[in-house]
Amino acid sequence: MLGFGLIKTWRELSAKGIMGINRRNADYVLKYNKRSLYPLVDDKILTKERAIEAGINVPEMYGVISTEKEIEKLDKIIGDRTDFVIKPAMGAGGDGILVIADRFEDRYKTVSGKIISHEEIEYQISSILTGLYSLGGSRDRALIEYRVTPDPLFKSISYEGVPDIRVIVLMGYPIMAMLRLPTRQSGGKANLHQGAIGVGVDLATGITLQGTWLNNIINKHPDTSNLVAGVQLPDWDGFMRLASGCYELCGLGYIGVDMVLDQEKGPLILELNARPGLNIQIANNAGLTLRAHAVEHHIADLKRKGITESVEERMRFSQNLFASSLPQ
Amino acid sequence: MRSLTVHLRILIALCMIIGVSVTAYQIYVLGIPVTAEETDNLWNIDAKVEFRANSREPVKLQMFVPPLNQDYVSLNESFISNNYGVSVNRSDDNRRVTWSARRASGKQTLYYRLVMTKRYSGEQAKAKGPIYRETLPIEGAEKIAAEALLAPIRQHSADVETFISEAIKRVNNTADDNVRLLLGGDNSSERKADVIDVLLSIAHVPMQRLHTIRLQADIAQSPELWLRSFNGEKWLYFNPQSGEQGLPNDRMIWWLGDEPLLNIEGGNQASVTFTLNNSEMNAIRLAQLSNENTDASFLDYSLYGLPLQTQQTYQVMIMIPLGVMVILILRNLGGLQTLGTFTPVLIALAFRETQLGFGIILFTIITTLGLSLRSYLEHLKLQMLPRLSVVLTFVVVLIAVISLFSHKLGLERGLSVALFPMVILTMTIERLSITWEERGGNHAFKVAIGTLFAASLAHYLMSISELAYFIFTFPGVLLIMVAFMLAMGRYRGYRLTELFRFKAFLKD
């Protein structure tokens, strides 16, 4: 009877338009994302440079270290800033990121309260340079940038770390969004497979929906026990505008855009992802395939009519079409 | 996109069609056996010639030997004789061996030995033969008797085939006066064949005698007389005694025509005894053997044309696509997580040397120890390349130590570990530990188990000897696999694990 049950599951999933890895790869990633453009999103420094050119808000870049010799410049790059972030340019899954929250005499204090020395920071940078955290272990560069201070709103539903907002954008049309909240288990990281929570967000209003944690549906944050649903995200249209504009920024047709809400600077783009994960579907209780098909039809329509839509129009289109039907 | 899909479909169909038809051609037309266990009968025929030589006189003995241009193929033929010169010549459709000696005396024994089997290839030379001949001269009472017999035969027959079988039937009816007259009291098949010959010649139907050997082991036999006639398309065979039509499968034509088997000058009391026995032989081996002896070169351009040592390498190599396909299925259809794509196949190859159970144990031990070393090195904050080098060296030392210990303990199997590819192990350890750091121990464990599982399954399939034989013999199968892989390239359905991963959707 197991086989029969699986067939039933299969039918139900495909009726809901749930996208599987094979479909994502064949129909979206391979079709819309040109391989030659990958370095733009894999290398956070390149992404940032492009974004600055395009006038899109990103966390300010303090400096780049690309050789062992340049590690000496660290002091100059940091200057007298008390907080900053060191990241591998081609890191994956949030590894190798060092967030310095404060200085303490000659030492540094990380965001989790650990005191580390200057040498340890230098070793971390050296590890980044040898490619310890990069995809495929190739040589990498270290990026030193502005430390984002999350909007206080998130404090209530989050457990340390910086929550971010992931929007899947197909050819410039946002099709699904989620708020990613770090947990104790994820160690302050916002990646779902490391144990962070994903909370679906209504594209039209920016109000949070249900949550997903380790493939299950949840309603409360496991660390804070706060309800995750029904929270209004501030400046939602700002996020949507930012995400929609990323198509022009990188040229990739199917991406996941990761953004944060900084206390002072508002929505900022953190990074782009050419192979966004699929658990966002659980958080939204909706399938990506149906939404992607709707956008593809719309694009084909426009093409026949010879119209190209602006960022604003694309954003409105998505917000009208994909407004959540979940009870609030 | 649409045109690309059509392109892909055509490509898949092409691979499939070529793969299937090449394989089918090999199986059905060339008759290459489908399994290695398939055996063929190998016949060993001894003809022993005995005679008494006249002293002070040169001896010349001629004997017919099988012409070998029919359904049988000779693997080995030998003429065993002491002090005799041997020559074989072909005349018409026959072959004849001539043994000759200047001087011999007393009882002489000569041997002719033939090892042969049924021919593989289905290609048959086009039969041709005479369809008309002159009437044999007969006179007087015999002529009248023959004509009296012919009248009802003509009435009861429609064509050459029925005419001959009717004639044989009549001649075998010894109650008939006409038949009795023609046979002249001799009921042997030779005599009957003569009478049939006469009857057919009056009707201008050609007829040829042939002498056959029955392929049956361990019975005493002498050549059996058959008749055959060409009807314009093919030869029709008849038994003059029983009227049986069509040559049974177990008959082999020894010689054609009216001449006796033996012809001796300078000797007497010549006799031939036939001894047959059969053995079974691996079919493909047999095909190879027969290949050397015939011009049927269907194996020349297969992998069997390679030197034996190279063949063994290819027998392993040609299974790799199968292993890769297993990984493809497990990953893209099943959703199993493995370390890299081809690592499991490489590990599966390593298992060939160590055996599965032992291989898994060794793999686990080495990987575990390597991982602990790796995590120790992690504390030393080393750079990647030096760290990898240290791990590799450690793996080599570890393998050496395991070999040494198992040798001392008398476990020879432990020595096979040396063949475990060290670089593969090192890379496995490295990737596993990166996975460990990035995704946590649980995930790393899952991936390691997945890799071992995939490797074991791939190893299992790759070591099925029937499968190895089949793919090696019919490389067209590889094209069928390619077609499947191409199709998988556009597979959009769910992976098995996704059905569980997205279970949350089914709750409402």
> How many Å separate Cα B173 from the centre of its chain?
46
Q: Which runs of E-coded beta strand occur in B200-333?
A: 208-214, 224-230, 235-238, 251-256, 262-265, 267-282
CA-nearest of B26, B259, B53 to B122 is B26
CATH match of A60-145 with 3.40.1280 = no
Query: Is residue A160 very low, low, confident or very high in pLDDT (cuts 50, 70, 90)?
Result: confident
- Sheet architecture: strand order including B39-53: B72-80, B106-118, B39-53, B267-282
pLDDT at A136: 64
Q: Do A216 and B504 touch (CB under 8 A)?
A: yes
Q: Which residues of A touch B507 (CB under 8 A)?
A: 217
Q: Which residues of A touch B442 (CB under 8 A)?
A: none
Of the candidates B384, B443, B499, which has its C-beta nearest A9's C-beta? B499
Taking residue A44's Cβ as centre, other Cβ atoms within 10 Å add up to 21
pLDDT at B301: 61
Q: Is B197 helix (H, G, I), strand (E, B) or coil?
A: helix
CA distance B164 to B229: 9
Query: Is residue B288 very low, low, confident or very high in pLDDT (cuts 50, 70, 90)?
Result: low
What the block records as the tokens of B157 is 């027959």
State the average pLDDT over residues B147-161.
Answer: 82
Q: Do A26 and B492 touch (CB under 8 A)?
A: yes
Pick the CATH number of A18-41+151-321 from 3.30.470.20, 3.90.550.60, 3.90.280.10, 1.20.1440.230: 3.30.470.20
Non-local CB neighbours of B439 within 8 Å, separated by 6+ positions: A93, A193, A194
Q: Distance from A27 to chain B by nearest Cα, in Å?
A: 8
CA distance B310 to B285: 16
Q: Which residues of A touch B384 (CB under 8 A)?
A: 130-132, 137
User: Is pLDDT at A106 greater than 50 in this prediction?
Assistant: yes
Taking residue B325's Cβ as centre, other Cβ atoms within 10 Å add up to 18
List the single best residue of B499, B506, B507, B508 to mutate versus A (max A Cβ within 10 A). Answer: B499
Q: Distance from A286 to chain B by nearest Cα, in Å?
A: 9
Least confident of A54-68, A135-149, B372-386: B372-386
State the average pLDDT over residues A206-234.
Answer: 86
Taking residue B55's Cβ as centre, other Cβ atoms within 10 Å add up to 10
pLDDT at B298: 53
Whose tokens are 């004509």? That residue is B147
pLDDT at B37: 67
User: Is pLDDT at B293 greater than 60 in this prediction?
Assistant: no
CA distance B92 to B256: 9
CA-nearest of A159, A203, A152, A158 to A178 is A203
pLDDT digits (tens, 9 = 90+) for B433-461: 877 776 777 888 899 999 999 999 999 99
Nearest CA in chain B to A20: B494
Residue ranges, comma separated, of all CATH 3.30.1490 domains in chain A are: 60-145
pLDDT at A305: 92
Put simply, the chain A residues between 15 and 34 with a CB less than 8 A from any chain B CB are 16, 18, 20-23, 26-27, 31
Nearest CA in chain B to A215: B501
- Alpha-carbon dihedral sign for residues B287, B291, B293, B295: positive
Nearest CA in chain B to A279: B502
Contact B339, B428 (CB under 8 A): yes
pLDDT at A255: 94
Least confident of A46-60, B81-95, B419-433: B419-433
B117 class by beta-carbon count within 10 Å (0-12 exposed, 13-18 middle, 19+ buried): buried
Q: Do B381 and A193 touch (CB under 8 A)?
A: no
Q: Distance from A110 to chain B by nearest Cα, in Å?
A: 19
Q: Do B499 and A13 touch (CB under 8 A)?
A: yes
pLDDT digits (tens, 9 = 90+) for B190-228: 888 888 888 888 888 888 888 888 888 777 788 888 888
- Sheet architecture: strand order including B59-65: B85-91, B94-101, B59-65, B262-265
CA dihedral A189, A192, A196, A200 (to 10 degrees): 120
User: Is pLDDT at A269 greater than 50 in this prediction?
Assistant: yes
Contact B328, B320 (CB under 8 A): no
pLDDT at A86: 92
Taking residue A9's Cβ as centre, other Cβ atoms within 10 Å add up to 18
Average pLDDT, chain A: 87
pLDDT at B39: 67
Nearest CA in chain A to B487: A26
* Rounded percentage of chain B residues whose pLDDT exceeds 90: 11
pLDDT at B507: 63
pLDDT at A313: 92
With an 8 Å Cβ cutoff, is A14 touching chain B? yes
What the block records as the tokens of B396 is 């080599």
User: Is pLDDT at A328 greater than 50 in this prediction?
Assistant: no
Of the candidates B489, B496, B505, which has its C-beta nearest A18's C-beta? B505
Q: Which residues of A touch B502 (CB under 8 A)?
A: 13, 18, 215, 281-282
Give the ipTM of the model, two decimals please: 0.81
Q: Distance from A128 to chain B by nearest Cα, in Å?
A: 10
Angle (nearest 5°) at CA A231 between A228 and A232 = 155
Of the candidates B492, B499, B507, which has its C-beta nearest A6's C-beta? B499
CA distance B83 to B97: 15
Q: Which residues of A touch B496 (CB under 8 A)?
A: 6
User: Is pLDDT at B292 greater than 60 in this prediction?
Assistant: no
Put simply, the chain A residues between 123 and 152 with a CB less than 8 A from any chain B CB are 123, 126-127, 130-132, 137
Residue ranges, comma separated, of all CATH 3.30.470.20 domains in chain A are: 18-41+151-321
Query: Is residue B379 very low, low, confident or very high in pLDDT (cuts 50, 70, 90)?
Result: confident
CB-based burial, B78-105: b 16+ in 10 Å, e otherwise: ebebeebeeeeeeeeebbbbbbbbeebe
pLDDT at A327: 46
State the average pLDDT over residues A275-289.
Answer: 90
Contact A277, A20 (CB under 8 A): no
Q: Distance from B438 to chain A by nearest Cα, in Å?
A: 7
Contact B54, B21 (CB under 8 A): no
Taking residue B333's Cβ as centre, other Cβ atoms within 10 Å add up to 16
